[in-house]
Structure 1
Amino acid sequence: MADLVGRASDEARGVPADLLEGYLTVLAKVSAGGRLCPDELRRRRDIGARAAERNVPMRGVVDLYLSATWLAWPSLPGVREATGADALRRIGEAVFRAADATITAVAEGYEEAQRWSLRQEESFRREFVDDLLDGRNVETLVGRAERYGLRLAGSYVVIVAAGPQPFVDGGPMTRQVESIVSLGPASRDVLVTTRDGLLVCIVPDLHGTVEEFVTRVMESLRPDGAWRLGIGRPQRGPGGAVRSFEQARQALHIGQRLQLPGQVHRASDLLVYQVLIRDRSALADLVEVVLEPIRKARTGPGTLLHTLAAYYAADRVATVAARELHVGVRTVTYRLDRVEELTGYSVHDPQQSFTLQVAVLGAQLLGWPEGS
């Protein structure tokens, strides 16, 4: 029997023979009229799990069991003692049913171990991503990052993307971006994940790498125009990812709130807005003091606020603002005069106009008046 086990391992190209563990004894018993008991099937599931833990390919395990079955067949006691074709046929049916049930049990154990390993790996990865983007357990991040191809001693840039639907781990858009990124030269050093419905990409700050990555992501998301990218500033060290992530997320928020042109917003280009939003309490006070009076407008504050935003976006040219708003120039000038009547701030006075513009930006960033 030991010789048969060794030959089966050779036939299966070296799959460990100990994974058979008593299988030939079971076949011998079945061939002599015995039955396959539930305990034996549980044992096979455990062996399947063991094979998965040892990274033995499933096809190799199946090959091992099938090879052992046909090699053992001539020497099984029931086969040797069979008299007549009918008896041999019944024994063959019993043996191959037992082999089928055994291999199925091994496969079930193997698959369950793989699912558990995958869930555990996903849990480890999620925990690492959360620690990385929250700045927790910084002292262990460097060692854990190497498992995912990141070298946190270097400088990295975090890019976040928002779309019409939340991004989720394993979702189709997430997989599509991962697939495209894997084709790049620096793919090993890029981590693609999700956080709070955003697609998050951690990219090494190497010459041309960030630009190439942004181009690839844009190509991936281009079929749907309702998405935006936020790009943080390069940051170094284990704590750098969380800083760049917050900058990227804030750049995305500013681009969405202010409806800035384009779909890519870089934190380095939006520093003035970040200064404004850093002290939310002071910004809210400014908005309240300057713009609260326009709530008294007959049409509500929305129309006047929208007109002010269009006027400043048009570089204070009323004709351009009117074209953008699809109204006449006189309507725009009337609304601007109405703002002055209600607030006391004129768009024609440089200092007052600057205060108005900052208040309008603050209202957009804070979601005023809806968010007030």
Structure 2
Amino acid sequence: MNVLAQVSEATGVPADLLGGYPAVLEAADATGRLPARDAIDELRASGASAAERGVPMRALVDACLLTAELTLTSAGAPALGALRRAVAAYAEGYEGAQHKALREQEAARRSFVDDLLQGRADRLAERAEQFGLRLAEPYVVAVARDAKAVVDGDPLVRRVEQALVTRFGSHNILVAARDGLLVCVAPGALTAATGEFTHHVRSALAADWRVGVGRPHRGPGGVVTSYREAADAIRLGDALGLRPQVLKAADLLVFPVLLRDREAIEDLVGTVLDPLARARGGPGPLLETLEAVFASQGNQTAAARRLGISPRAVTYRLERIRRLTGFSPDDPTQRFTLETAVLGARLIGWPPETS
């Protein structure tokens, strides 16, 4: 049995991966010269092939050492130098192939996330299975926003995903960066996933973080819808000045309904709130008072605490609003009209900023 056959049988490393290696050792042992560049390149290519064929690095190194043991007649410095360089070349090729595979996988992942969240359906269900997603069931998308945009390669993406995978398994969760947001896609039945996602966001991001959570929807198009709902929840929270840092699309359904008929909202805001523009100091303080009263469920004392003014000042402002607009938050019907108008004003940016 020749050397390569012996080594292959003993280590499990295919003989063809070691084809040029004994000759390198014998030449170095005979001439005292280190391997030439072309010999090193051949070994590096064999190392890459070993990685691609799933040969463990430990087995490859063992095969290199055993080949040297069976091939060399002496353990002189040139032969040992050749051994060292040969093993280094194998390792370099092996690691290069590993890094290339990781880069290709990451590129495939980015492409899949882009297609998934944009609704491009090119073999989407088939590709989703590679990442553990079964798009026939409902999925929920949560997104997190920070002052600093989250981008591909951000360690935060991998850290949050690893934490979620550790708890829920690798075939349930997808975490990625998209449009400056940290995105989490999870099965709708896995209700704890968005809470866990929020927990890690709270721990990792700055104080001004905010999370939006879409509703569960089925299929590739459902993921897109849930993603848009989650991102829109954050935008609505900013536009309306909402205090909660976690906003659920299911709790904000009235606002997309309002925005579908912008003309009607503009008419409502103009009819109900335009008279406030005649108030001394402008409409701003009166709008803030209405918002505080509505947020406090009509409790004027609580509203005063929110605003940092006296309850008497709140009472005065509400009376001023009643006189200017003809609407009072104390009347149930008028309260609804006022509150809808105030929300609409925030949504359309009324009153417009003056330069």
Q: TM-score by structure 1 length?
A: 0.82
Give the Cα separation in 2 of the matches to 1:129 and 1:60. Answer: 36
Report what 2:255 is aligned to: 273
Give the Cα separation in 1 of the matches to 2:167 and 2:352. Answer: 43
Residue 202 (str. 1) matches residue 185 (str. 2): yes
Residue 57 (str. 1) matches residue 56 (str. 2): yes
Residue 28 (str. 1) matches residue 8 (str. 2): no
Structure-to-structure mapping, 1:133-148, within 5 angstroms? 133-137=117-121, 139-148=122-131
| Residue 98 of structure 1: how far off its partner (Å) | 1.6
| Residue 127 of structure 1: how far off its partner (Å) | 0.9
Give the Cα separation in 2 of the matches to 1:98 and 1:366. Answer: 74
| Residue 362 of structure 1: how far off its partner (Å) | 2.7
Aligned partner (choices 136, 139, 162) of residue 145 of structure 2: 162
| Residue 144 of structure 1: how far off its partner (Å) | 0.5
Distance 1:186 1:369, change over 3 A: farther
Corresponding letter in the other structure for 1:203: A
Kept in 1, the 8 Å contact 2:211–2:245? The answer is: yes
Aligned partner (choices 175, 195, 200) of residue 220 of structure 1: 200
Give the Cα separation in 2 of the matches to 1:319 and 1:309. Answer: 14
Corresponding letter in the other structure for 1:197: G
Corresponding letter in the other structure for 1:234: P
Aligned partner (choices 160, 164, 170) of residue 177 of structure 1: 160
**More deviation, 15-24/181-190:** 181-190
Distance 1:101 1:367, change over 3 A: farther
Aligned partner (choices 114, 124, 148) of residue 130 of structure 1: 114
Unaligned runs of 5+ in 1: 80-87
| Residue 56 of structure 1: how far off its partner (Å) | 1.8
Give the Cα separation in 2 of the matches to 1:289 and 1:3. Answer: 96
Distance 1:369 1:102, change over 3 A: farther
Aligned partner (choices 86, 99, 123) of residue 115 of structure 1: 99
Report what 1:82 is aligned to: none
Distance 1:130 1:64, change over 3 A: same
| Residue 258 of structure 1: how far off its partner (Å) | 3.4
Deviation sequence 1:126-179 (CA, Å, 0-9, x none): 111111111112x51111111011111122222222345433445444333323
Kept in 1, the 8 Å contact 2:175–2:185? The answer is: yes
**More deviation, 115-124/299-308:** 299-308
Give the Cα separation in 1 of the matches to 2:267 and 2:5. Answer: 82
Report what 2:134 is aligned to: 151
| Residue 328 of structure 1: how far off its partner (Å) | 0.8
Corresponding letter in the other structure for 1:30: A
Give the Cα separation in 1 of the matches to 2:249 and 2:29. Answer: 74
Distance 1:50 1:352, change over 3 A: same
Give the Cα separation in 1 of the matches to 2:263 and 2:169. Answer: 42
**More deviation, 145-154/229-238:** 229-238
Kept in 1, the 8 Å contact 2:184–2:197? The answer is: no
Q: Percent identity?
A: 47
- 1:182 counterpart SS class: helix
Kept in 1, the 8 Å contact 2:194–2:213? The answer is: no
Corresponding letter in the other structure for 2:344: G
| Residue 118 of structure 1: how far off its partner (Å) | 1.3
- 1:199 counterpart SS class: strand
Distance 1:187 1:257, change over 3 A: farther
Corresponding letter in the other structure for 1:136: R
Report what 2:85 is aligned to: 101
Aligned length: 351
- 2:171 counterpart SS class: helix
Give the Cα separation in 1 of the matches to 2:221 and 2:198. Answer: 27
Q: TM-score by structure 2 length?
A: 0.85
Unaligned runs of 5+ in 2: none
**More deviation, 45-54/175-184:** 175-184
Structure-to-structure mapping, 1:1-372, within 5 angstroms? 3-11=2-10, 13-33=11-31, 34-74=33-73, 79=74, 92-137=76-121, 139-185=122-168, 187-206=170-189, 209-210=190-191, 212-223=192-203, 226-260=208-242, 262-280=244-262, 283=265, 286-287=268-269, 291=273, 294=276, 299=281, 301-339=283-321, 347=329, 353-366=335-348, 368=350
Deviation sequence 1:96-146 (CA, Å, 0-9, x none): 112222222222222222222211111111111111111112x51111111
Corresponding letter in the other structure for 2:66: S
Deviation sequence 1:214-266 (CA, Å, 0-9, x none): 33234434446643332222211221111111122222333444354544332
User: Considering only aligned residues, what root-mean-square deviation do their CA atoms show, in Å?
Assistant: 3.0
- 1:233 counterpart SS class: coil
Corresponding letter in the other structure for 1:199: L
Give the Cα separation in 2 of the matches to 1:228 and 1:57. Answer: 44
Deviation sequence 1:264-294 (CA, Å, 0-9, x none): 3322222112212344565456556655665
Corresponding letter in the other structure for 1:228: R
